[in-house]
Amino acid sequence: MPSTALKHTDLGEIEKIHARLRATFDSGKTLPLAYRRQQLLQLARLVQDNTQAMQEAIYKDYRKQPLEVALGDTTPIIPAALRAAEKVEEWTKPEKPEVEEWRSSWDTTIYKVPKGVAVIISPWNFPYILSFGPLVGAIAAGCPAILKPSEHTPSVAALFAELVPKYLDPEAYAVVNGAVVETAKLLELKFDHIFFTGSTNVGRIVAAAAAKQLTPTTLELGGKSPVFVDAENTDIELAAKRVLWGRQINAGQVCVSPDYILVPRSHQDAFVAAIQKAYKQFYPDGALESSSTLTAVHPSAQERVKALIARTKGEVVVGGKEKEGRIEPTVVKNVDVKDALMEGEIFAPIMPIVPVDNVDEAIKIIRSYSTPLVIHVFTESAETKDKFLYGTRSGTLVLNDTFMELGVHETPFGGLGDSGFGSFSGKYGFDTFTHQRSYINVPLAAEPFLGHRYPPYTEEGYKFFAAGASQKIPDN
């Protein structure tokens, strides 16, 4: 495990932080748009000013490569914060829904108001984007928030505690560090929204704790996100290169990482050959050599990953070796659906290839598992695309690439079923922390229309209010 000693937040201090943020929200301090914009710009500055320190902290924790940190963990925060700062006035603008003529004078409005105080509990694998990404939405919505980074990246967590109060308003945004005890303490407190990213098992614990407080929750979980390679209708070499790239990022420790690959049986060997070609391009001197840019497997998972490789009944055709915490991207062909690699989310640099007879068998296998966070399909066929679009369920469907769904700020990112619920990214993050508060102003002049509702009830009153049930219903 990493040697950095993380200072845990005192349990009594957690209560004080919670009370301080509650008082700040009640005061209305976080409501003005100018305040929100200023905090969003400060968040962008935090990342821009400290990118090097952020990269060094996570490298110290488990040797995550700087390019991967920049690609998916730090850089996306800045455009997200800047876009929110630019759009927050538009996002918060009240809506005037279309209403019936008889109540057109009631000033019917939908106001976008902050839910209240939020807590954001983030994982170790992408600690920056999965903390600050949701925080962008919370700030834009006008919600104070507590950040709870993972104890499994102690250098990163310590950096959070140092930087957040320097750049953001400490009366509204705070960091709580610790492990199970501190997280449990947070979940005992009353929040107005809980945002959790992590495993399905822990997600169930968070959801149960939230249910006791009737707290709305966003769960960003994971699952077995499959890949289907429509070999007759795609460039196999490019598909193999993109799949291997997506799997080797962060040593496969990504919730959207390709978990298993479904390939037509007759094209399995061609796909393996394409993987081997891409592997040599990525690691010309070998994945475990000092020149390699392979990220290490987190210390807490190394034994589990090595055991998985040892248990598979499939044929290892690429990788499989380990050195000083780094494990080669490992490709295994002829994997059966009952293999050890298919029991649950792998969350490691292992790529099982499951041969199938056709696209329909691939979809049947996908549907036999819990709803995944992402389905990846490599195809140029409109028919294949439609089969996956209408015949499968997932948080996201990505054609012809892997991993890129995390960088699209114009669409919601989130799970479905066992892969989670709720979403964030761009305006959808703002929506997550926002309550749509309906409003009407019933004019006194409407009394003649409302007079029939008062006792004693009359036949005339009944006919007046029941008239809507007699309207003509179209034939089709």
Active-site residues: which are they?
Answer: 220, 255
Give me the residues paired with residue 112 across strands. Answer: 436
Length of the chain: 476
In whole angstroms, how far apart are CA 267 and each of 246, 329, 332, 466? 21, 21, 15, 65
Q: Which two tokens stand for residue 466?
A: 């029941």
Which among 393, 387, 311 has a CA at the least distance from the CA of 346? 311
In whole angstroms, how far apart are CA 191 and each of 117, 177, 426? 6, 17, 23
Task: Say which amino acid occupies 439.
Answer: Y
Q: How far apart are CA 281 and CA 130, in angstroms?
A: 31
Q: Which two tokens stand for residue 273?
A: 């050959």
Give me the residues paired with residue 378 across strands. Answer: 229
Name the pairing type of β-strands 315-318 and 330-333: antiparallel
* Phi, psi angle pair for 283, to nearest 5°: -130, 70
Q: How far apart are CA 194 and CA 202, in angstroms?
A: 13
Q: How far apart are CA 432 and CA 30, in angstroms?
A: 17
Measure the CA angle with vertex 181, ends 252 and 191; round to 5°.
90
* Rg from Cα positions in the chain: 26
Across the beta sheet with 118-121, what order do the strands follow? Answer: 173-175, 145-148, 118-121, 193-197, 217-220, 420-421
Q: Which two tokens stand for residue 375?
A: 């389905």
229 by DSSP, 3-state: which?
Answer: strand
Which among 238, 241, 244, 268 has a CA at the least distance from the CA of 380? 238
Q: How far apart are CA 298 and CA 152, in angstroms?
A: 9
Q: Cβ(225)–Cβ(256) under 8 Å? A: yes
Q: How far apart are CA 303 and CA 295, in angstroms?
A: 16
Residue 458: Cβ within 10 Å count: 11
